[in-house]
Structure 1
Amino acid sequence: MLLRWWRRLTAMRTAIILLFLLALAAVPGSLLPQRSLSRTSVNRYFEENPDLAPVLDRLYLFDVFSSPWFAAVYLLLFISLIGCVVPRAMEHARALRTPPPPAPRNLLRLPDSGRLDSALAPGAALDAVEEELRVRRFRVVRRETAHGPELSAEKGYLKETGNLLFHLSLLALLLGLAGGKLWGYEGSILVTEGQGFCNTFQQYDTYSAGPLVDSADLNSLCVDLDQFRAEYEEDLTAASFTADIRYGEPAGEDRARTIGVNDPLRIDGDRVYVTGHGFSPTFTVTLPDGTAFTDVSAPFLPTDQQTLASEGALKLPDLGAGQEEQLALEGFFAPTGLMQGGLLTSVDPRPLAPQVAIFAYQGYLGLDSGLPQSVYSLDASQIERGRLTEVGAANLSVGESLDLPDGTRVTFTGYKEFAAMQYSHDPGQLWVLGASIALLAGLLGLLLLRRERVFARAEPAAAGGGTVLSIASLTRGGGESRPRFTALTDDLQDALATAASRTATYPEVPSRD
């Protein structure tokens, strides 16, 4: 029973079915938001689909690539490929050392067969055929049989080699992908101009790592964002994003580099990508006693990718010893602001006329409560419980201010741009690249090469001397075999005629002994 199930599992048909199932299982991972990529998107999906989302979550459809059923298909595909390819590779290795088989007794019964007449002796005729076949890169074996001298020739072993290389490369590709997931990690963070980050998981907004990654394994690297530039086409679609950065070890010398969306920083196998951008409006907060906090800012997340209209919050828990209540600003930033129906909106992603609509709150922010909260929005529960009270609201252009009842002044001073950066470590990327190249080479060999055998037997002519050659061939794959056999017999006939003319021109001198 076990042997029968093992044979079914290691059959090539099963491997193909499992590969199809693996591709099918990956479809939900591209259609639904994944927690490993964006928890915010998953939470938004739960809010928009409160009835459907819990059902999908129980099926692991928000964690497809770490789900038990995806891992099961992946593991079964590994076992199937190993059990299928390894025995075939051993069999192919034995076949490479095995000479071509003897010619069938009745050559002329094969579909591609025929006779050739030659004035040469049987041995000399086979010599001419052998020479022509070796020019065509056939392996040739001569034999003496009861039916007369014959030869067997074979080529196209690289077709089976390409087949095995394709499947072995597929297995190596899957191993490389699995290794990258087990030992790889990636983190994402929003970095405002003039700020930076170091490669520690505590600094990332979102961080995911393989089960075999330890926090001490993270490479020591820090990145500072000096300037971000975005260029747009006439229809306001993005043309290019570039970021001028400085990077290096914490105690080492910084190096400058400009990176883009498709031009990441690559260092020691790690990569730093630019995945998006937005704006961080800046404010100056002046307290009643005259203490000023200048150019305080926080990233506002885009809600409209066409116009980069953004929403966010700026939390100021430590304004000074004499300030009992904490301050927070929540609002809407428009790179090119325009009032429509009494509401501020943005009509252009370029910062041509930046404006901000803010609501000011004072009270307790709850940052030291021990409960997690988003850094990009206020905790609504604090407002509902009355711990945060709205004390002012205004639409501001650059240079305009909002005065709060306690005498605090909030001035909108401008903006900085931020870049969404992703730090990725994937130790299997070179393995995957090499496996992909080998897979393509194996596929080309599998599709373009042909397995071909040629047999020839020489018999003396019934009358008049000379030789009658029986020729036959077997071809597997690569199209019609009859035209190829016709072209081969024409070349062999020319080779026999050439050899016969050489023999007639330079007759063999008999020995005097």
Structure 2
Amino acid sequence: MTNQTRTGRLPGLAIDPAAFEPADFEPAAIEPAVAEELGATRSASRGIFEAVWDLLTSMRFSLVVTLGMAVLGVLGALIIQVPAGVEADASAKLDWLAGVRPRFGGWTDILDSLQLFNVFNSIWFRGLTAFLTISLIACMVQRAPGLWRTATKPRITVGDGFFAHARERDSIVVRGDAADLATRTTAVLRRHHYRVVSEDDGAINFYADRFRWAPFGSLIGHLAIVVILAGVMVGALYGFRDNSFVIAEGSTAAVPSGDGLSLKLISFEDSYYTTTGAPSDYASELILFENGREVARQTVRVNDPLRYGQLSFFQSFYGPAARMTVTGTDGSVLFSDGVALAWETQDDGRSIGTFTLPGQDVTVWILATLGPGDTQVKPGQILVETYRASTGEPIDQVSIDQGVATTISGLDFTFDRELQFTGLSVARDPGTILVWIGSILLIAGFTIGFSFPHRRLWARLVVRPNGIGTLAVATPGRASHDVDRAFTNLVTDLRAAVAGPSAS
């Protein structure tokens, strides 16, 4: 048995009797019941495939999938989304869920199980994206052969009903030799920039069109959306985004998923409008290192990110920081760096930051002052809280003055000076190039579709033996002022060419 392609909407399987030796097997010898069973199986399989194909190429199906993606997009905008990097860390995910539980209550676990805290990476969104992509590809495969035939082998002869009922139609009485009239008709159509194809079946039939390749603009548009969706999926699967990467002035931090990359903040500057006090600009002077070697240096602003390879660093936010120094009992420096106060306490909105001490079972949290009215942490002070790193048990809580070494938990803490930190959004999106290509294709498809409308026209020239006849002209399509005017001008020129005295 061999596979044989049969005509129809989908390829199927058929038995090729020539594949068997007549002496060994005769097709006619197939038992009727077996033949009927085979036929039923093939028909059932073909019916399933055709049903799936009809579904994928259905406009209604595409609209339903698109609506589903839109609904998920709205949910993703309305429901707080888990920060990048937290989803993969089970402990961080539990802490994050505990933080949002007061807001969502008993719905928290339900929303999490439905992946609505991570909508754009959920199985629902990815599944709908895949369905939409497959549907668009199926539509392109279905339409492409017909568009190719129309462009290369158009139908020249149409029935009388078309000339009687077409939206734009006219009939011209002609006089003269049929061949000469046909030449004149062709000349007028070409003067109006039509491609002309004709055939003679007793009457001379004309097919004329302009911008015959323009309908492929819709396929380019479909392809563009497929490429954009592919770029989005590639970015979601193989890229990452960290919207909470913070560095204090003078500090260096390892870049998440940067493979040997680290970033140093030299300085941060912010400026404000004098009339409203709103920020007018804020900029971070950054140095990017790869395995300890400087590879890039740039002042990053909101609309001017630092790019290196597939990584992009976007200016996102900023805030206060503190430079802290911690020494051991023997005078050795355990920590000396800037600490970003990038979070806030839930009870009073106090800026806080944290760091750990190498070789010590201690986690340190530092809290900033609320201003002149703060009795717990006065201006020029910072509150130091120490916790047992292994158990989370609190150890000490002491407010210390700037520049004064203070012993806390057996270690000397010094609040050196106030700083600022910068918050960056770090992203790597390998699908960006696909999104750009798809966007260019989408613009090209729309430009072709709207700037070069495909116009078709049929004409039939019938001349009786006495030299008198008719030239019927008709064009399909929707009502349009431009189409009406173009058709009227064309018929006027045809009438002048074939019905005037020169045609007699």
The answer to whether the superposition gives a TM-score over 0.5 is yes
Tell me how far 1:302 sits from its aligned partner. Answer: 4.8
| Matched-pair contact (CA < 8 Å) for 2:286–2:297 | yes
The amino acid that maps onto 1:15 is S
Change (3 A) 1:181 1:407: closer
Instruction: Name 1:20's counterpart in structure 2.
Output: 67
Identify which range, 36-45 or 439-448, moves more after superposition: 36-45
TM-score normalised over the length of structure 1:
0.74
Equivalents in 1 of 2:299, 2:354: separation in Å? 30
| Matched-pair contact (CA < 8 Å) for 1:122–1:466 | no
Q: Does 1:474 align with 2:476?
A: yes
Q: Which residue among 213, 216, 219 is the counterpart of 1:161?
A: 216
Instruction: Name 2:6's counterpart in structure 1.
Output: none
The amino acid that maps onto 2:219 is L
Equivalents in 1 of 2:409, 2:350: separation in Å? 31
Q: Does 1:104 align with 2:110?
A: no
Tell me how far 1:453 sits from its aligned partner. Answer: 2.3
Change (3 A) 1:132 1:269: farther
Instruction: Name 2:287's counterpart in structure 1.
Output: 246
Q: Which residue among 142, 165, 169 is the counterpart of 1:113?
A: 169
Note the 1:62-211 alignment, pairs <5 A: 62-105=117-160, 107-117=163-173, 121-146=177-202, 148-187=203-242, 188-199=244-255, 201=257
Instruction: Name 2:76's counterpart in structure 1.
Output: 29
| Matched-pair contact (CA < 8 Å) for 2:241–2:427 | yes
Note the 1:429-508 alignment, pairs <5 A: 429-447=432-450, 449-460=452-463, 468-476=470-478, 481-494=483-496
| Matched-pair contact (CA < 8 Å) for 1:176–1:429 | yes
| Matched-pair contact (CA < 8 Å) for 1:330–1:359 | yes
The amino acid that maps onto 2:69 is L
Q: Which residue among 326, 339, 342 is the counterpart of 2:373?
A: 339
Change (3 A) 1:29 1:163: same
| Matched-pair contact (CA < 8 Å) for 1:297–1:314 | no
| Matched-pair contact (CA < 8 Å) for 1:228–1:244 | yes
Q: Which runs of 5+ in 2 are unaligned?
A: 1-46, 87-94
CA shift digits 1:415-466 (9 cap, x unpaired): 2222222332211111111112212322343445544322223344898x67
| Matched-pair contact (CA < 8 Å) for 2:366–2:385 | yes
The amino acid that maps onto 2:399 is A
CA shift digits 1:117-147 (9 cap, x unpaired): 556643333323322322433221122122x
Q: Does 1:358 align with 2:383?
A: yes
Instruction: Name 2:264's counterpart in structure 1.
Output: 224
The amino acid that maps onto 1:161 is F
The number of residue pairs the alignment matches comes to 443
Instruction: Name 1:389's counterpart in structure 2.
Output: 396
| Matched-pair contact (CA < 8 Å) for 1:232–1:240 | yes
Q: Secondary structure at the match of 1:71?
A: helix
The amino acid that maps onto 1:63 is N
What is the CA RMSD across the aligned residues, in angstroms?
Answer: 3.7
The amino acid that maps onto 2:308 is I
Equivalents in 2 of 1:405, 1:179: separation in Å? 50
Change (3 A) 1:48 1:135: same
The amino acid that maps onto 2:437 is G
Equivalents in 2 of 1:253, 1:408: separation in Å? 35
| Matched-pair contact (CA < 8 Å) for 1:100–1:139 | no
Note the 1:282-301 alignment, pairs <5 A: 282-283=323-324, 296-301=337-342
Instruction: Name 1:507's counterpart in structure 2.
Output: none
Q: Which residue among 29, 53, 56 is the counterpart of 1:9?
A: 56
Q: Secondary structure at the match of 2:172?
A: strand
The amino acid that maps onto 2:492 is D
Q: Does 1:60 align with 2:63?
A: no
Tell me how far 1:62 sits from its aligned partner. Answer: 1.0
Change (3 A) 1:108 1:121: farther
Change (3 A) 1:404 1:10: same
Equivalents in 2 of 1:476, 1:171: separation in Å? 29
Identity of aligned residues (%): 23
| Matched-pair contact (CA < 8 Å) for 1:284–1:413 | yes
| Matched-pair contact (CA < 8 Å) for 2:367–2:384 | yes
Q: Which runs of 5+ in 1 are unaligned?
A: 202-217, 320-324, 346-353, 372-378, 505-513
Equivalents in 2 of 1:103, 1:329: separation in Å? 84
